[in-house]
Chains A and B, each alone.
Chain A
Amino acid sequence: MKAAAFSYVKPRSLAETFDLLERHGEGARLLAGGQSLIAALNMRLDTPRVLIDLNGLKELSGIRVDRDSIAIGALTRHRSLELSEDVSQHLPLIHAAMPFVAHAAIRNRGTFGGSIAFADPAAELPACCIALDARFVIRSRAGERRVAAREFFKGLYETDLRPGEVLAGGEFARSGVPYRYSFQELARRHGDYAIVGVAACARIGAGVLSGVRIAFCGMGPTPMLASAAAAALDGRACSRDVIAHAQASLAQDLAPFDDLYQTAATRMHLARVLLGRAIAQLTTDYEY
Chain B
Amino acid sequence: MSTEAADTLEISLQVNGAPVRRRVASRLHLADFLREELGLTGTHLGCEHGVCGACTVRVDGEIVRSCLVLAVQADGARVETIEGLSAAGTVGALQRAFHERNALQCGFCTPAMLLAAAELVERQPDASREDIRRHLSGNYCRCTGYQAIVDAVEVVCRAHRAGGIR
Binding site for B on A (CB under 8 A): 1-12, 16, 20, 24, 34-35, 38-39, 41-43, 50-53, 55, 79, 99, 102-106, 108-109, 189-191
Complex formed: what's the CA distance from A51 to B64 in Å? 20
Q: A20-B3, A103-B53, A105-B63 are in contact. Are A35 and B68 (CB under 8 A)?
A: yes
**Known pairs A10-B3, A34-B69, A109-B64 / 11 extra A-B pairs, C-beta < 8 Å:** A8-B5, A8-B72, A35-B65, A35-B68, A38-B68, A50-B5, A52-B5, A79-B62, A103-B137, A104-B116, A106-B68
**B41 part of interface (Cβ distance < 8 Å):** no
List 8 A-B pairs, minimum CB-CB distance, nearest first.
A103-B138, A8-B26, A7-B5, A39-B49, A9-B5, A190-B137, A108-B62, A191-B137
Q: Are B134 and A106 in contact (CB under 8 A)?
A: no
CB–CB B6/A8 < 8 A: yes
- Whether B40 is near chain A, meaning CB under 8 Å from some CB there, is no
Check A104–B48 contact: CB distance below 8 A.
no
CB atoms of B6 and A7 under 8 A apart = yes
Report the minimal beta-carbon distance from B89 to chain A, rounded to whole angstroms. 22
Tell me if A38 and B1 are in contact (CB < 8 A).
no
Q: Using Cβ atoms and an 8 Å threshold, which residues of chain B touch A3?
A: 27, 29
- List which B52-87 residues lie within 8 A (CB) of chain A: 53, 56, 62-65, 67-70, 72-73
A10 to B6 CA separation, bound complex (whole angstroms): 10
CA distance A35 to B53 in the complex (A): 12
- Is B21 interfacial (CB-CB < 8 Å)? no
When each residue 1-30 of chain B gets 1 if its CB lies under 8 Å from chain A and 0 otherwise, what string results?
111111101000000000000000111010
Which of B48, B63, B119 contacts A2 (CB under 8 A)? B48
Q: Give the distance to chain A from B59, nearest Cβ to Cβ, in Å.
A: 8
Q: Kindly state whether residue B50 has any CB partner on chain A within 8 Å.
A: yes
B135 at the interface (CB under 8 A from A): yes
Q: A5-B25, A39-B68 are in contact. Are A55 and B73 (CB under 8 A)?
A: yes
CB distance from B133 to the nearest CB of A (A): 7
* B32 surroundings in chain A (CB, below 8 A): 2
Residues of A within 8 A of B48 (CB): 1-2, 42-43
Chain B: which residue is nearest A79 at the CB level?
B62
Which B residues lie within 8 Å of A2 (CB)?
A: 27, 29, 32, 48
On whether the beta carbons of B134 and A42 are closer than 8 Å, the reply is no
Complex Cα distance, B119 from A38, in Å, reads 24
Nearest B residue (CB) for A56: B1
CA A38 to CA B7, docked complex, whole Å: 16
What are 24 residue pairs bridging A and B, where the CB atoms are less than 8 Å apart in the complex? A1-B48, A2-B48, A4-B27, A5-B7, A7-B6, A8-B72, A10-B1, A11-B3, A24-B5, A34-B73, A35-B50, A38-B29, A38-B68, A39-B68, A41-B27, A42-B68, A53-B72, A53-B73, A104-B119, A105-B53, A105-B138, A106-B68, A109-B69, A190-B137
Closest to B139 in A: A103
**Do A106 and B62 touch across chains, with their CB atoms under 8 A apart?**
no
CB of A7 within 8 A of CB of B7, answer yes
Residues 134-150 of B contacting A (Cβ, < 8 Å): 134-135, 137-139
- Residue numbers in B under 8 Å from A102 (CB-CB): 138
Give the complex CA separation of A24 and B5 in angstroms: 9
CB–CB B68/A108 < 8 A: no
Compute how far the CA of A189 lies from the CA of B138 in the bound complex, rounded to whole angstroms: 9
- In the complex, chain A residues whose CB is within 8 Å of the CB of B63: 104-105, 108
A67 to B62, CA, bound (A): 33
Q: Do A189 and B137 touch (CB < 8 A)?
A: yes
Instruction: Give Cα A249–Cα B67 distance, bound, in whole angstroms.
Output: 44
Residues from chain A with a CB closer than 8 A to the CB of B119 are 104
A4 and B26 alpha carbons, distance in the complex (Å): 10
Complex: how many Å from CA A35 to CA B135?
A: 18
A24: chain B residues within 8 A (beta carbon) = 5
Minimum CB–CB distance from A98 to chain B (whole Å) comes to 12
Considering the complex, give the chain B residue whose CB is closest to the CB of A189: B137
User: Do residues A105 and B49 form an inter-chain contact, with CB atoms below 8 A?
Assistant: no
Residues of B within 8 A of A106 (CB): 50, 65, 68, 138
Q: Name the A residues within 8 Å of B72 (CB-CB).
A: 8, 53
